[in-house]
Structure 1
Amino acid sequence: MFKSKAKWNFIEEDAEKTRWMGDSPDISPVIKELLVQRGINTSDAAIEFLSPNKESLFMPEDLLGMDVACERVHKAINQNEKILVFGDYDADGVSSTTLLLSALQELGANCDYYIPNRFTEGYGPNEQAFSAAKDQGFQLIITVDCGIASVQEASFAESLGLDLIITDHHEPQEKLPEALAILHPKCSPTYPFKELAGVGVAFKFAQELLGYFPEHLLDLVAIGTIADLVPLINENRILAYYGLQMLSVTKRPGLRALKKQCKIEGNVTEENVGFLLGPRINAVGRLQDAGLAVEMLMTQDEDEAEHLAEVVQNLNQERQQIVNEIVKEAEALVNESNIKGITIVAKEGWNEGVLGIVASKLVRKYDRPAIVLAINSEKGTAKGSARSIPAFDLFQNCMKVKDYFTRFGGHSQAAGMTLPLDNISLLQHELNELIQETLTEDDFKQEITVSKTLSIQEINEELVNEISQLAPFGMANPKPTFHIKQVPSSVRQIGAMQNHLKIQFNQESLMLDGIGFGLGDSFPFISDKSPLSVVGEIGINEWNGNRKAQIVIQDLQIDEQQLFDHRGKKQIEIMPFIENANSYLAIGNDVEHRLKQVPVNFNQMSYITDKEFFDPVDTVFLFELPDSLDDLRIIIQKVKPANIHLCFHLEDSQYLKSFPSREDFKQFYALIIKRGYFDIKKDLFALMKGYDWTEERIRFMLNVFFELEFVIIESGLAKPNTSPTKRKLQESRLYQQRIERSDIEKKLYYSNYDDLKKWFQRLIEDVDIPKEELTYGL
């Protein structure tokens, strides 16, 4: 057996809910089931989901405050008042800023933008920035992707005589800011969809201001919506769907240059945005002023776009390097502390802008909630980010100890915080207490939601194309993960570091490839011909013009007993197997010389050990052949191992030696009787030559004769017993041992893998094995 790294949650099929699609021949059964899993249970909803329609978008005027906000902006434009777009430094904020600024410029507004510095100002509006805006002659400030919690800052703006319009999508607090207008889906009781991204709200505002549907701004909407991880359903799905199409053919020099840096060609996907474009835009605000990203998106100059995109690319590479360095330092701190609950690491000099990424990596590695803090020794504070596991609500639990924080905000899986240095250990203690009270060991495992089990026959390019109709994938509309259980035809490690896994499945005449990135360390734990369960996403692998379906494996496990065949190897590496096992047992004495590395407190026993000392274990290593198959049977049935490793190595095989026939015994005994003696030293060579017998065969027959008292051996002479008792050869213990040893070798050392695996499975299941099978091999 081999346990999965994550917990697999299979979605149960609801046959009742799929009946409404019974008359839809154009929709495959798999797609029908996936739609039902997404809450789609009418034909109209299915059509709308599979074919998103811009006509289904809600009207911008449905947002509360839209009329007031638009009236004020048009007034400012007519009177040439200066308008400031105040944004955020992440991809949603940058795209929101660019979008609204573009719309205002199209209307002829006298406008500019401002994004606060992450390190010197922090998130959202601040009084210093508002004062500077007043000094520069701005009369109207419009926030995008921020401002809903800026109660004090809104009052300050009013005191300066500045009009403030807030557009945001973050969680409203108990008290709302006193602004001229607030455009926020969750503050609009009649607005049907509450989960727009910041850029989605900005787009609604731009649409109402322009008086038409600004399709040319949808490329920006796609970036902010997908990068901000809002649910990709309802309006977000429609906006992202058409936004990706616009992004694929965008005329913005900055986006085209950035796509070139990312080597994105053809149709842009949500994965391109989530893993390539979004992180690069985010990298700017993580390391320096995010205004550079806005300039890249706004410029109409091709040369400037190329230059800015290259700067952004370099910043992203720098960000990656910084993250890698901090991750190494953080992992070292975690390993030193040996913490079992929440992981909290803090160090001076860490870049605050990347600590959320570092926390995410720690969560994935250690399967624990993680808080990563940068220490400011001068202020005596620590500031950073936190990420969590699904079973632990970070926001709710941190709110129980909110007095430890100077500032705190976030949601169930992510948060940001500032706290005094003295409170770090107190915070860790309290959160660990909460974790111990609420979580079980199983809760710490990562979770993978599995949509359906598929056969090899069901996976093909047609199914992949059908599944693509569900895109774009994201929050609330995840890319389907499927389960396959099949004996692989081949498993191998690939990559320069051998850290990836390549698996091939064959069923009848069909073949399916699987690739498991980062799963190369699982290779030693997959035995031959074991049914392998894998979960992953299916897609198309294109190579040299050939296209075929494949599964990108996220996790794997083996549910059945495994037999690992190391027979004949003089040295064996068992440390990985021992480290992976909860318990193990090694049968064989003084076998350390056979191991590449000897485990600490190596637990060895022999076949003659009192069987009462044997307890159930995960893994058994068999280094020596038993003297009796019955001894082996008793041990295996006693410990019932999930994994058995055959580590036998023979220097002197009895099975490979030819066994003397009955006629051989008769001839040799007749010769001794005739001559009256046999001089072992003098006559041995002549007998070997005359009968083509080996020395070992001759000595074995002599020892059998001696045991049965057919001869007397004295001073190297074998003489016939003058009055022997009539006995059969089978009465000789040596004779029987030789037969039994030969049969044991034949069964356990020379038999083929398939038959031997079946035999061990029958032992585990405690099924009676026929006597002839025990005697004569498989």
Structure 2
Amino acid sequence: MNTHYAHQLSDLPGFSLMADMMSMIELENRYFAKLSLKGLRHAGLKVLFAAMNFDLNNLSATDFLYGVSPAVTAATRADNIQLAIDFLMCDEDSPEIKLLVKDLIRLNERRKTVQAEALIRLKPLVNENDKVVIVIDHTLGKGMNGLVAQELSRTYSRPAIVLGNGDSEDTYAGSFRGLEDFSMLDMLGDCNSVIYTGGHDGAGGLQLLKKDIEVLRQELNGKLQNFVADNSLYYDLEFDINQVNENLINYLSEFYRITGNKFKQGRFLIKGLFVSDKKLIGQSNNTVKIDCDKLQLMKFKTDVNYYKSVPVFSEIEAIGTLNINVWKVYRPKFKVTKTLQLFIEEYRETK
């Protein structure tokens, strides 16, 4: 009818595909993801990206996946879905957007704190002899179970299940996170102890009777008796520190601008790093900053023990993702500072 209303919302399909972890090797999905990142239109998302210090003219999928998307879903995890709905319905600029964004960021910071505290609390309950991490925590709630399960899965390199109270007094309900090696959803569906399971191959929910918790543990250990947790770190390319510069990082960032399910962010081994200093930073003291000449290493979601283990005045090599942190200062004089960074997964000393 000679209207073009859909053009005003052309950025939303790509964000939806990325948020739901759809395949990013599918060309149609990549097309819509590119529309989202290169043609941001949504008034609320513009304000949220800017408030989280992302460059609106140089957005990547990781900015959305690990920045903005968790901030929006933090509202639903806090049982405040109306806040998320109100935010997403802000398709035009309005005075209320800044207030909504402020609330989303506040809830997201709270989510990070709860998630970090839960990981510390639950680690002592993990039986590392089990093929699947299974823990019970009644305080987290449905909105946080999956996030904590994901952290436990990454930490122990195996599937993880976090359970809490179910629909009735005699049941547990919770979330699972699996690995790319096999379908955790199908495996749980084959367990006699599981009343219900649903979701995706690697992420979903389940319910079982409390009396069957040990049966589930035995079933999973049996099905995965030949499974060996692989905590190896894999990387795409390796560089000497002397090869790393702004041009290289910009080139790699452009290549990996659209990442996600089945098209992962590039990981690189950087050699020849010399540690000159280290700092423990962040509101919860869970981020370690390591100075290595022209490259700054950042380790997120860690603790003081990791900080203490980092050797100063030593040579190391590290695996992670490369990034440029751009910091703008407007007073007393406008100044732009660029810092080359490596978001590290792990390091090791070299001799």
- What TM bracket, shorter-length normalisation? 0.7 to 0.9
Establish whether residue 420 from structure 1 lines up as the match of residue 200 from structure 2. Answer: no
Q: Which amino acid aligns with 1:423?
A: D
Q: CA shift at 1:398, angstroms?
A: 1.9
Task: Select the residue among 430, 439, 446 that pairs with 2:227.
Answer: 439
CA 1:332/1:457 → structure 2, altered by over 3 Å: closer, same or farther? closer
2:332 corresponds in structure 1 to none
Cα distance in 1 between the residues matched to 2:4 and 2:34: 19
**Matched residues in 2 for 1:318 and 1:256: separation?**
22
- Whole-angstrom CA distance in 2 between matches of 1:375 and 1:389: 25
Match of residue 482, structure 1, among 268, 290, 297 = 268
Structure 1 pair 289–498 and aligned structure 2 pair: CA distance change class (3 A): closer
- After superposition, residues 626-637 of structure 1 pair within 5 angstroms as none
Q: Which has the higher strand share?
A: 2
Query: How much has 1:525 moved relative to structure 2?
Result: 6.7
Of structures 1 and 2, the one with the larger relative CO (CA 8 A, separation 6+) is 2
The match for 2:331 is none
Name the residue aligned to 2:323. Answer: 539
Cα distance in 2 between the residues matched to 1:298 and 1:541: 31
- Alignment CA distance shift 1:545-1:222 (3 Å): same
Separation in 1, partners of 2:337, 2:44: 34
CA contact (8 A) 2:174 2:205 kept: yes
Q: Is the 8 A contact 2:24 2:259 kept in 1?
A: yes
Query: Which amino acid counterpart does residue 504 of structure 1 have in structure 2?
Result: C
Distance change >3 Å, CA 411–CA 549, structure 1 → 2: same
Q: Which of 410, 430, 435 is equivalent to 2:219?
A: 430
**343, 347, 351: which is aligned to 1:556?**
347
Q: Secondary structure at the match of 1:545?
A: strand
Paired residue secondary structure (1:302): coil
How many angstroms apart in 1 are the aligned matches of 2:310 and 2:63?
Answer: 34
Q: Which amino acid aligns with 2:177?
A: R
Counterparts of 2:125 and 2:177, CA distance in 1: 17
Alpha-carbon distance, 1:523 to partner: 6.2
Aligned to 1:235: 28
Matched, 1:281 2:36: no
CA-CA distance at 1:541 after TM superposition: 4.0
* Per-residue Cα deviation, 1:639-694 (whole angstroms, up to 9, x for no partner): xxxxxxxxxxxxxxxxxxxxxxxxxxxxxxxxxxxxxxxxxxxxxxxxxxxxxxxx
CA–CA distance in structure 1, aligned partners of residues 339 and 5 of structure 2: 40
Q: 1:130-161 CA distances to partner (integer Å, 9 max, x unpaired)?
A: xxxxxxxxxxxxxxxxxxxxxxxxxxxxxxxx
CA positional deviation for 1:371? 0.6
State the partner residue of 1:459.
244
Residue 410 of structure 1 is aligned with which of 187, 199, 202? 199
Matched, 1:374 2:199: no
Q: Which amino acid in the other structure matches residue 381 of structure 1? A: T
User: Which structure would you say has the larger Rg?
Assistant: 1
Match of 1:91 in 2: none
Contact 2:240 2:270 in 1 (8 A): yes
Q: How many angstroms apart in 2 are the aligned matches of 1:490 and 1:314?
A: 34
**Which blocks of at least 5 consecutive residues in structure 2 are unaligned?**
328-334
Per-residue Cα deviation, 1:694-713 (whole angstroms, up to 9, x for no partner): xxxxxxxxxxxxxxxxxxxx
Alignment TM-score, normalising by the size of structure 2 = 0.81
Query: Partners of 2:106 and 2:277 in 1: how far apart?
Result: 36
- Distance of aligned partners of 1:260 and 1:371 in 2 relative to their CA distance in 1, 3 Å threshold: same
1:364 maps to 2:150: no
| Counterpart AA for 2:23 | P
- Partner amino acid for 2:81? A
Q: Which amino acid aligns with 1:383?
A: A
Structure 2 counterpart of 1:368, one-letter code: R
**Cα distance change, pair 529–339 in 1 and its aligned pair in 2 (3 A):** closer
Distance in structure 1 (CA, Å) of the matches to 2:205 and 2:276: 43
Structure 1 position 359, deviation (Å): 0.7
Partner of 1:309, secondary structure, is helix
Per the alignment, do residues 216 and 448 of structure 1 end up closer, same or farther by CA in structure 2, a change over 3 Å counting? farther
Contact 1:491–1:501, Cα closer than 8 Å, also in 2? no
TM-score (norm 1): 0.39
Structure 1 residues 287, 458: CA separation in 2 closer, same or farther (over 3 Å shift)?
Answer: same
Separation in 1, partners of 2:209, 2:68: 36
Deviation (angstroms), 1:341: 3.1
**Contact kept in structure 1, 2:317 and 2:349, CA below 8 Å:** yes
Distance in 1 between residues matched to 2:261 and 2:109, nearest whole Å: 27
What is the deviation of 1:257?
A: 4.1
- Deviation, 1:426, is 0.5
Q: After the TM superposition, which residues 484-499 of structure 1 pair with which residues of structure 2 at under 5 Å, given as runs?
A: 484-486=270-272, 488-496=273-281
* 2:18 partner letter: I
Counterpart-to-counterpart distance in 1, 2:46 and 2:296 = 33
For residue 177 of structure 2, the aligned residue among 367, 387, 390 is: 387
Per-residue deviation, residues 177-206 of structure 1 (Å, max 9, x unmatched):
xxxxxxxxxxxxxxxxxxxxxxxxxxxxxx
Q: CA RMSD in A?
A: 3.2
The CA deviation at 1:352 is 1.1
1:357 aligned counterpart, secondary structure: helix
Shift of 1:338: 6.2
Unaligned runs of 5+ in 1: 1-106, 108-209, 506-511, 561-778
Question: How many angstroms apart in 2 are the aligned matches of 1:289 and 1:490?
Answer: 44
